[in-house]
Amino acid sequence: MKIRPRFSEKKAGFFVSGVCKPDRWQKARPDPDFFPNRKYMTAPVEMNAANANLSYALDILRNDYSTIMQGVLRGNYAFWVGSAISREKVPDLKDLIFDLLCKLFDCINFSDAECPYCQTFNNIIQLTSLRHRINQSTRPSSWDRIDKDSILDQLHDNYSKVFDHDIRVNGQTISLAWDFLRLHELYGNPSIEPAVDHWLLALLIAERTIPIIISTNWDDLLEKAYEVCVQEPQSQLRVIASTDDLMMGGASTRTILFKIHGCARKMQSDPSQYRDFMIINRSDILAWSGAQYIPFRDFLRTYLRTHLAIFVGLSGQDLNLQMECFQASLDGNFPFSPPKVIFADSNLSVNQRSIFKALYGETEYSENAETIDINSLLQLYAKPLLGALYVLTLFEKARKFLVLGNEDFEEEQKIFVEYWITKSEEHICEHYDAITDKSILWKQLASELPSYLTRFLKMYRDQSIPNHQDEYQPLYYRNIADMEENLDIRDLNYHWLFFTCALFFEGEVQNLWRSKIPLMANSNQGQLTIELNGQSYRLFILRDINGIAKLVNAGIIDPSNDRDVIIAYPHGLEPIANRRTPQRSLPGVTPTSCIMEIWIQNLANEQLAPRDMIRELSFKMLPMRI
């Protein structure tokens, strides 16, 4: 199969050289397209689906799949996830089969010629071509490594037949999955923590980038991650694992997690309702076509017809999934451009191509196989794809906020903020690209970036700090399409917030001050620490003038003693009374004589050019240097 060609040359960047020029942003206006057409860096040749860094992953999304990513950010894509995203935390199918064989062997009574455990063990081995080479009196852990790997590969491809066997003991039937291995307890174990993949998916759900996730996984790790991140998870995530769940309905604004193979957590809480919806063996898959599953099937087919799909960590070998892709296309095969389904993987498998044949038709696929394969393979594994998509979501939302608030700014001011947004994205890429261990890279990104964003936004919005380190505040709780339809979104004044950040960023570039991110564990810190003349100051960026009283009441600042506090208000004009006197009184608060307060909109109204505003901002902060 031909692979989509990667860009080998480094494209011209957004920005001209000479970063110390105060007006450089005027000469560096970004491409007006939805996505900036650039590369962050020349990706090393050895970059691939597994070891991609942030820059490389963003490059693929922006350049190779720009149209598709626009659709993703607008909520047009359903995400289908499989066992690969949970492999670090729960056994994958091959490990599960090996564990089954070992436990069956340990139960065998070799003195009993009709031992039921021995019969089941032998029946499973008979599914492989190596059945005559195995000494069935030897524990599987002692088998020849090559033979063992070959047997497990074959059983993996026939897992539904493996688990179709059961054990007959004293006239009772013991299910291999639910009675013998008790998989619902294994995959629903409350002590298992989510993996990085689950945290990243939870963040994308919170940002409403993903409207629906269709999962073949039994585990509840995605639900756990989301419940930790979001204060009211039940109001935003609807989990469907049975027909009754489906019939209950829910708000259209909630993301749907549709667990088509069942849910271990729900089965433990209510076996009578959820056991029949746990899918693992051939009998379960055949039962899928029965009347009990009609609402399930109709719901799945509707999303197959109405939404494009990205498959993440999903091999496509599940027979019921292939059946539903075929059934969804019975009214007419889907066009293959844009691709109906995209697989995030290194290469396409036979099972994944079976999905294409079901959706597009055998003839259409055979005639256009090369084009379909190239356009339907996104060569990133789950972590780099989801991590890059999260970063992409944040910065494209930031750009959308700026576009929606454009009328408040002059042209030079708009370019100035566009420049800051782009440079911030580049700085984040540089920071995480420096981490060569990719397992650490995505873990740190999924932890650090959301943590800082949450603290920044909570301090700005309501002058509080997060309740715990994993709490998450989305930049905005709707996707980009919904942002465009919300006429009140300008009232959030995020464009003014970004303008304020751009001013402090540019002041540092011009060596007027230094800024750094404070330690998150310190509850009395602002969003930034500003270093002036060898002294450190706490910078608080607040939504409105009433915020200072909340900081005082929360014990974060003491206006009568704290001489290290700078408060910036992005939007709103300085009160006239405050302009006449350097002190002002708040209800129940002593005069704020020790605190420096700055009204950014005042500066914008008085000094239209950003370089003049930065100079004026420096003058206003001059008393802090004395």
Give the mean model confidence (pLDDT) for residues 502-527.
85
The pLDDT assigned to 31 comes to 40
- Alpha carbons within 13 A on the beta-carbon side of 153: 8
> Is the CB of residue 333 less than 8 Å from the CB of residue 369?
no
Specify whether 604 is located in the same domain as 591. yes
Specify whether 330 is located in the same domain as 410. no
Measured distance between the N- and C-terminal CA atoms of the chain, rounded to whole angstroms: 68
Q: Which of 443, 391, 419 is nearest to 55 (CA)?
A: 391
Per-residue b/e over 542-578, b at no fewer than 16 CB within 10 Å?
bbebebbbebbeeebbebeebebbbbbbbbbebeeee
Q: How confident is the model at residue 86 (pLDDT cuts 50, 70, 90)?
A: very high
Mean pLDDT of the chain: 84
Whole domain around residue 167: which residue ranges?
Answer: 93-187
Specify whether 216 is located in the same domain as 110. no
Specify whether 352 is located in the same domain as 415. no
pLDDT for 244 beyond 70: yes
Share of the chain above pLDDT 90, in %: 52
Per-residue pLDDT of 182-236, as tens digits, reads 999 999 999 999 999 999 999 999 999 999 999 999 999 999 999 998 876 556 7
pLDDT for 44 beyond 70: no
- What's the structural domain count of the chain? 3
Residue at a domain's end among 187, 209, 241: 187
Please, which contacts does 86-90 make with residues 24 or more away whose CB atoms are closer than 8 Å? 86/195, 86/197, 86/198, 86/217, 86/219, 86/221, 86/313, 87/313, 88/195, 89/192, 89/193, 89/194, 89/195, 89/219, 89/221, 90/186, 90/187, 90/192, 90/219, 90/221
Any domain includes 55: no
- Say how far apart CA 566 and CA 594 lie, in whole Å: 9
- Say how far apart CA 312 and CA 298 lie, in whole Å: 22
| Phi and psi at residue 62, to the nearest 5° | -75, -40
Any domain includes 392: no
> Is the CB of residue 166 less than 8 Å from the CB of residue 100?
no
Any domain includes 494: yes
Q: Is the pTM of this model over 0.75?
A: yes
Q: How many other C-beta atoms are found inside a 10 Å radius of the C-beta of residue 260?
A: 23
The pLDDT assigned to 433 comes to 96
Identify any residues that bridge with 166 across adjacent strands, giving them in sequence order. 175
pLDDT for 288 beyond 90: no
Specify whether 366 is located in the same domain as 433. no
Give the mean model confidence (pLDDT) for residues 541-562.
89
The pLDDT assigned to 322 comes to 61
Specify whether 418 is located in the same domain as 451. yes
Specify whether 183 is located in the same domain as 199. no
Residue found under tokens 């700005």: 460
Per-residue pLDDT of 374-395, as tens digits, reads 999 999 999 999 999 999 999 9
Specify whether 436 is located in the same domain as 542. yes
Any domain includes 616: yes
Give me the amino acid identity at 505. Answer: F
Instruction: Calculate ∠ Cα 34-36-37, nearest 5°.
Output: 115
Per-residue pLDDT of 1-22, as tens digits, reads 444 443 333 332 222 222 333 4
Per-residue pLDDT of 467-487, as tens digits, reads 888 899 999 999 999 999 987
Please, which contacts does 292-296 make with residues 24 or more away whose CB atoms are closer than 8 Å? 292/243, 293/243, 295/243, 295/246, 295/247, 296/243, 296/246, 296/260
pLDDT for 326 beyond 70: no
Q: Which of 455, 463, 434, 442 is nearest to 519 (CA)?
A: 455
Any domain includes 614: yes
- The DSSP result for 60-121, as a single string, is IIIIISHHHHHHHHTT-EEEEE-GGGGTTTS--HHHHHHHHHHHHHHH--TT-TT-HHHHHH
| Phi and psi at residue 107, to the nearest 5° | -95, -5
Q: How confident is the model at residue 252 (pLDDT cuts 50, 70, 90)?
A: low
Q: Lowest-confidence range among 25-34, 39-48, 196-205, 389-398?
A: 25-34
* Distances from the Cα of 49 to the Cα of 27, 41, 56, 338, 452, angstroms: 36, 17, 10, 22, 28
Any domain includes 156: yes
Give the SS3 label for residue 289. Answer: coil
Residue found under tokens 């065998």: 108
> Is the CB of residue 360 less than 8 Å from the CB of residue 330?
no
- Say how far apart CA 143 and CA 30 lie, in whole Å: 61
Specify whether 132 is located in the same domain as 241. no
- Say how far apart CA 317 and CA 352 lie, in whole Å: 7
Residue at a domain's end among 382, 416, 443: 382
Give the mean model confidence (pLDDT) for residues 257-286.
91
Q: Tokens for 269, please give them.
A: 């809480």
Any domain includes 204: yes
Q: Cis peptide leading into 338, omega within 30 of 0? A: yes
The pLDDT assigned to 356 comes to 86
Q: Is 150 exposed, middle or buried (0-12, 13-18, 19+ CB in 10 A)?
A: middle
- Say how far apart CA 295 and CA 247 lie, in whole Å: 8
- Say how far apart CA 396 and CA 412 lie, in whole Å: 20
DSSP state of 194: P
- Say how far apart CA 244 and CA 148 lie, in whole Å: 42
Q: What is the CATH number of the domain that holds 208?
A: 3.40.50
Q: Lowest-confidence range among 73-82, 212-221, 251-260?
A: 251-260
Give the mean model confidence (pLDDT) for residues 328-335.
62
Residue at a domain's end among 356, 382, 408: 382
The pLDDT assigned to 35 comes to 40
> Would you say the C-alpha torsion 532, 538, 544, 548 has a positive or negative sign?
negative
Specify whether 378 is located in the same domain as 485. no
How does strand 341-344 pair with strand 377-378?
Answer: parallel
Higher pLDDT, 169 or 22: 169
- The DSSP result for 353-387, as a single string, is HHHHHHHH-HHHHHHSHHHHHHHTEE---HHHHHH
Q: Which of 471, 40, 35, 388 is nearest to 209 (CA)?
A: 388
Specify whether 478 is located in the same domain as 407. yes
> Would you say the C-alpha torsion 549, 554, 559, 562 has a positive or negative sign?
negative
> Is the CB of residue 473 less than 8 Å from the CB of residue 385?
no
Specify whether 196 is located in the same domain as 327. yes
pLDDT for 26 beyond 80: no
Give the mean model confidence (pLDDT) for residues 309-333.
69
Give the mean model confidence (pLDDT) for residues 441-445.
95
Any domain includes 421: yes
pLDDT for 29 beyond 50: no
How does strand 528-532 pair with strand 535-541?
Answer: antiparallel
Share of the chain above pLDDT 70, in %: 84
